[in-house]
Structure 1
Amino acid sequence: MLKTFITPCLLGTVIFLGACNKNIYVPNTVNAPLLKEQFEFKGSLSPTNYQAAFAVTDHIAVMANGQYVFRPFGNNDDNDDVFVDKYAKGGLFEGGVGFFSPFGSKKRMVFDVYTGLGSGSFKTLDAAYHDDGNTGNVNDYLLRSHFSKFFVQPSIGFVHPAIETAFSSRFSVVNFYDMSLGNKVFENDAERRDGFGQISQKTRFFMEPAFTFRAGYKYVKFQMQLSFSVPLSDNGYENRDDGSVVNKYFQPVSLGLGASINIAHWYDDFHKK
C-alpha cells in the first residue's frame, strides 16, 4: 500500500521540477482534522486556505473549506517560478461530511474519511503577456476555468497535545466548464489551443496525497502540509522534444504553512489517563 501512494508522489515531484505551467487548477490544502470526540472543533488558517471541522457525534463530523490564491498580474519578475504559476488567481469552496474513530490502547491514533462537494474557478496569464512588455490588454492573454468537484478523503494520524501527524489520500473528481482563452493565448500554436479546450470535454480524476504535521501545545499549533496532485490521465501533460514531461495546467505540488486551532475536552483528561 505504501508503494502505491509513494509512486504518485514521486511522479508528481518529477513533473513539478520541470514545470513551467499555466495553472487553471490549484489544489486546496487537505483538511485532515483527526477529531476524537463529540463537539470537538478544529480549524486552520493559512494565507491561501481556511478550514474548519466539527464533530456532531462521537463518530460523525462536518467540514467546510475555503481557498483563495492571489498572485498579482503585475509581477515583473523575469524568472519563471518552478514551484507555482506566478500569475494564478482564484480558489474554491467545498463542504463535506465524514466518519472518524480513535483507536489504540490510549486512543492516540485516529482514522477518518470524509466525502464532499465543491466548486471554484481560476485564471492566469499566458507568458506572452510578459514577453510583450505587459503593454497589451490583459484579457487577450487570459486563461480562465470554472469547475465542480467531488472528493473522497481517508486519513490516518497520530494525535497528541503537542504533536499531530497525518497521512491523507484524497481522490478528487473534477469537471471543468466555461473555460476560455484570450485572443493572444497560444496565438501561434493551434494544437495547444485545441488541447486546452479538450480539458472540459470529460471528467478529470486526481490522486492528491498529503502529509500534515502540527506542533504546539493543546489549543494552538503550527501546521505544515506537503501535498501532491497527480492527474490520472494524460490530458494536461505536454511531451517535450528532450523527452521530459511537463504538467501544463494543474499545479502538482503544494507546501502550506499556517496555524491550527483545536477546541476539545479530551485535553483536560489527557494527564489523568
Structure 2
Amino acid sequence: MKPSLYTALVCAVIITLSACSKRIYVPNMVNAPVLKEKYEFKGSITPTNLQGAFAITDNIGIMASGQYLYGFNAADPANSNDRSDNGNLFDNTTRGGMIEGGAGYFKPFGPSKKMVFEVYAGYGGGSFKTLAPDYKTGAGVDLNDYTIRNHFGKVFIQPSIGYVHRVVETVFTSRFTIANFYNSSMGTKAFENNPDEKNKFLRVADKPVGFYEPAFTVRVGYKYVKFQAQLQFSVPLNDNYDYNNSVNNVNSYFQPVAFNMGVAVNLAQWYNQAKSR
C-alpha cells in the first residue's frame, strides 16, 4: 500500500472520531465468504447487513448482499440531542441502503487447505438520505425541508486471503469500488444560508468516485455458527483528497470507517472431515 493511503486511513479514523458531517455514502459490509468446496453456503446477519454466498463448483462462487440503515428515524425535533451523529463509527441520521451481487473464484491452498484465496467482482446500487449540516431541531420543524439525498450505482472487485478453521476464521480483503452518484435532491430549506456547502453536495455527482475499502473480518465459534466482526475503511481515490479543506472537500459526505458485528452461518461438508488441531 502506498504511504499516501496509510496517511488517508489515519485521517479517516481521526475524522470519524471528531467530525459531525452527514453521510450520503456509507459502505456496506464487505462480503468475504472464503468458501472452500462445492455446494458450501455461508451467510451472515448484522443489525444493518445481510449477506450470503454459495459455491456452485469447487472454485466458483456467487454472492449477494443487502444493507439498510435506519438511523434517520432517530432525528426527533422535540429533542435537540437526537440530531447529532456522535456515534464513533456511524451516522445516526443516515437512512437508506444498497443491494449488490457478484461472482468470483476461490482456491484453498496450503498443506491442510486452511488458507483460502478468493477474488469476486460485482455490481450494486442504492441510495441514502440524511439531514443537511445546517439542520436545527425545534418545534414545528419539517425534516423533509432539510433532507438531502443521492442515488448511486457501483461496480467492485475484491481480492481476499484468509485462514479458515472450524473454530476461527480471519480474512483480509481489499475492495476497490467505483460509485456513480446521480439524482441529487434536497429539501427547500437545506443549505438555505450556506451556498458553499450546497455546491459541495452537488459536486458529489460530478463524476464517478473511486474508493479503496480494505476490511478485516474475524469469525469465532464452532462449526456451523460463529460470531463475526469486521472493521472496514473507505478511502476516496479522487482529486478532492484534502481532508483539511472543508469548503471544497466533497469527501466529507462519505463515511470513512465502519464496524459491524453479527452472526455467521456456514453449511459445509468439510467440517465433518476436518480434525481440530
Query: What's the TM-score, normalizing by structure 1?
Result: 0.91
* Structure-2 residue corresponding to 1:170: 175
Matched residue type, 2:267: I
The counterpart of 2:126, out of the listed 98, 120, 124, is: 120
1:261 and 2:265 matched: yes
* Structure-2 residue corresponding to 1:36: 36
1:221 and 2:222 matched: no
**CA shift digits 1:191-235 (9 cap, x unpaired):** 111121111110100000000000000000000000011111244
Q: Distance in 2 between matches of 1:272 and 1:145?
A: 49
Unmatched 5+ stretches in structure 1: none
1:74 and 2:78 matched: no
> CA 1:163/1:6 → structure 2, altered by over 3 Å: closer, same or farther?
farther
Q: Distance in 1 between matches of 2:245 and 2:2?
A: 31
Q: Distance in 2 between matches of 1:250 and 1:164?
A: 29
* Structure-1 residue corresponding to 2:24: 24
Q: Distance in 1 between matches of 2:28 and 2:129?
A: 15
Q: Give 1:171-190 correspondences, 5 Å limit.
A: 171-190=176-195
- What is the SS of the residue equivalent to 2:212? strand
1:250 and 2:254 matched: yes
* Contact 1:236–1:248 (CA under 8 A) maintained in structure 2: no
The percent of aligned pairs where both chains have the same amino acid is 51
Q: Distance in 2 between matches of 1:206 and 1:94?
A: 16
> CA 1:124/1:236 → structure 2, altered by over 3 Å: closer, same or farther?
farther
> CA 1:163/1:134 → structure 2, altered by over 3 Å: closer, same or farther?
farther
Q: Distance in 1 between matches of 2:242 and 2:153?
A: 21
Matched residue type, 2:70: F
* Structure-2 residue corresponding to 1:270: 274
The counterpart of 1:160, out of the listed 165, 183, 186, is: 165
Q: Give how far 1:6 is off.
A: 4.4
Q: Distance in 2 between matches of 1:93 and 1:226?
A: 20
Which aligned segments of 4 or more residues in structure 1 are displaced greater than 3 angstroms?
Answer: 1-8, 73-77, 234-241
**CA shift digits 1:217-256 (9 cap, x unpaired):** 0000000000011111244866468x9x894211111110
- What is the SS of the residue equivalent to 1:248? helix
> CA 1:6/1:211 → structure 2, altered by over 3 Å: closer, same or farther?
farther
Paired residues in the alignment total 270
- What is the SS of the residue equivalent to 1:143? strand
> CA 1:133/1:123 → structure 2, altered by over 3 Å: closer, same or farther?
same
Q: Give how far 1:16 is off.
A: 1.9
Q: Distance in 2 between matches of 1:270 and 1:60?
A: 22
**CA shift digits 1:75-114 (9 cap, x unpaired):** 4352541522211000000000000001111100001000
> CA 1:269/1:134 → structure 2, altered by over 3 Å: closer, same or farther?
farther
* Structure-1 residue corresponding to 2:154: 149
Q: Distance in 2 between matches of 1:13 and 1:132?
A: 28
Q: Give how far 1:2 is off.
A: 8.7
> CA 1:4/1:269 → structure 2, altered by over 3 Å: closer, same or farther?
farther
- What is the SS of the residue equivalent to 2:163? strand
Matched residue type, 1:120: G
> CA 1:4/1:238 → structure 2, altered by over 3 Å: closer, same or farther?
closer
Matched residue type, 1:51: Q
Aligned-residue RMSD, C-alpha: 2.3
Q: Distance in 2 between matches of 1:146 and 1:26?
A: 12
Query: What's the TM-score, normalizing by structure 2?
Result: 0.90
**CA shift digits 1:1-36 (9 cap, x unpaired):** 596864443232133223211110110000000000
Unmatched 5+ stretches in structure 2: none
* Contact 1:20–1:246 (CA under 8 A) maintained in structure 2: no
> CA 1:198/1:2 → structure 2, altered by over 3 Å: closer, same or farther?
closer
* Structure-1 residue corresponding to 2:114: 108
